[in-house]
Structure 1
């Protein structure tokens, strides 16, 4: 028993005796934290401003590519308008166009919500297959419509999408073995430099073109119709890719602009708080000095 008490007293004696903190220690620690936070927010503001400038430069290039790519989509639209199918296609395939990159607002969520809305409102059957371009929308759709996902593409259009990218996607869709009468391409439509909206582009397959009234009026070989269907699908995908890319760059520029403004507001607020704390600490030190001088 005596040994246990001696050991306990020895442990207590070995512990350091807590010293009283100086009067201004709390203010000093708070000012140091504010200073570190100010430095961090200023660095974030520099990054967001740089990303905004880069996105602005890329947006100009993306708009030029979009204006050129829209000509492909206009030619396709004229073909399918003049060869409308007699009845509503039964087997549908949804192709959702997004990208692999983030930091661009809710642009990926818009096409995801449009696809989910189509399934919810009955425009698509419960077992309608879905293919996705881009990892962002794939991750979102896998949570709600994971059983419908049959194929996904990534690393498409890392810079400006090309027709080769669209042709590769169209070729994989054709060779995937998925049966469809029409492909519904869900993409972001470029409205202006500050706005966009989800849109759907419909592309008929080979059989749909053969049965269309506009094509029945002409005698065409099977190979010609097949090539036309594949080429039309590649054209539509290319038009959707370049327009979606322009929307992404526009949304990223706006997102970085908003982030820079928010960082500037935080810097002003933290600077005001830091100056008030610094002034209070200096006032406390002066009071201590004057009180000590008066006591002497």
Structure 2
């Protein structure tokens, strides 16, 4: 048995290998390739610095418009607090989520922030176990909400958002489109990015109650109003207010996030350019040293 095993081992050593393994090291970049990388990184750094300057110039106007738009969100809160509509929240069975962001990228996690907040509220928050509809304001939140099980809840989406500072007419047009679909809802939650500072933001929501919720509130019932016109107008105006406040404040947060993202990208480009420049200098010095060695060796041989 031992003789059979030793002969089999000897045959395996002699037989040619069926699989060839290569141990050739990866080729190193040449001086010309590194020089090309330095130029490419430098061009990227110029672009990111320009985009940072553009975002910084737009940020002041966005903040000014945001401060003006906050009055619209405060008006909504005053209406629902004074009408005591929040006490009807126990009867909420149908919720319409409006996820507000934009179409543009290169601004960090600004879009995923609102999508995560909306998905969390739908799955484990107020929307858990209730009839849900989702309206996406912008292509980016639409893409984010389309992942996983959220795609079936998207009823509408709007594009061409975020190119300029949103106006109240834009919000009014969006609210009219939503109301034209005749969605049945007891409550609307507008989820947007709240501007905290030039370096931070967070996803929050503005709540709007339906006409039925307003009519069922104790404070609103104290007014003798015939018909549903007043409650319907209040609900429609509150929806447009909330959309406008969310779009404008989200726009300011996006511009600030883009400025920070471009600043970080510029710093990374500068660091990478310095790294490649050091590598280029070392390789160039090594090449010069080798040429000098060859010259001295040839002279010594003569």
Query: One fold, TM greater than 0.5?
Result: yes
Where in structure 1 are there 5+ consecutive unaligned residues?
1-25
Q: How does 1:239-258 map to 2 (within 5 A)?
A: 239-258=245-264
Q: Does 1:220 align with 2:225?
A: yes
1:91 maps to 94
Tell me by how many angstroms 1:127 deviates: 4.2
Determine if contact 1:105/1:252 at 8 Å carries over to the other structure. yes
Structure-1 separation of matches of 2:220 and 2:130: 31
Look up the SS of the partner of 1:95 in the other structure: strand
Structure-2 separation of matches of 1:265 and 1:102: 24
Q: Does 1:151 align with 2:152?
A: no
Tell me by how many angstroms 1:212 deviates: 1.5
Determine if contact 1:127/1:148 at 8 Å carries over to the other structure. no
2:280 maps to 274
Moved more, 34-43 or 118-127: 118-127
Tell me by how many angstroms 1:126 deviates: 6.0
Determine if contact 1:156/1:165 at 8 Å carries over to the other structure. no
Moved more, 125-134 or 61-70: 125-134
Root mean square deviation, CA, Å: 1.3
Q: Deviation per CA, 1:170-205, whole angstroms, max 9, x where unpaired?
A: 111111121101101110011111100000110011
2:146 maps to 142
Structure-1 separation of matches of 2:210 and 2:289: 80
Structure-1 separation of matches of 2:234 and 2:122: 29
Look up the SS of the partner of 2:111 in the other structure: helix
Structure-1 separation of matches of 2:198 and 2:43: 27
Determine if contact 2:94/2:130 at 8 Å carries over to the other structure. no
Determine if contact 1:210/1:225 at 8 Å carries over to the other structure. yes
1:133 maps to 137
1:181 maps to 186
1:233 maps to 239
Q: Does 1:196 align with 2:213?
A: no
Q: Does 1:79 align with 2:85?
A: no
**When the two structures are aligned, how many residues end up with a matched partner?**
270
Look up the SS of the partner of 2:190 in the other structure: strand
Structure-1 separation of matches of 2:162 and 2:254: 11
1:21 maps to none
Where in structure 2 are there 5+ consecutive unaligned residues?
1-26
Q: If the length of structure 1 is used for normalisation, what is the TM-score? A: 0.88
Q: How does 1:105-120 map to 2 (within 5 A)?
A: 105-120=108-123
Q: Does 1:104 align with 2:107?
A: yes
Picking from 120, 124, 145, the partner of 1:121 is: 124
Tell me by how many angstroms 1:115 deviates: 1.0
Structure-2 separation of matches of 1:186 and 1:212: 24
Tell me by how many angstroms 1:294 deviates: 1.1
For residues 123 and 225 of structure 1, do their structure 2 counterparts lie closer, same or farther at Cα, with a shift above 3 Å needed?
A: closer
2:56 maps to 56
2:19 maps to none
2:9 maps to none
For residues 197 and 58 of structure 1, do their structure 2 counterparts lie closer, same or farther at Cα, with a shift above 3 Å needed?
A: same
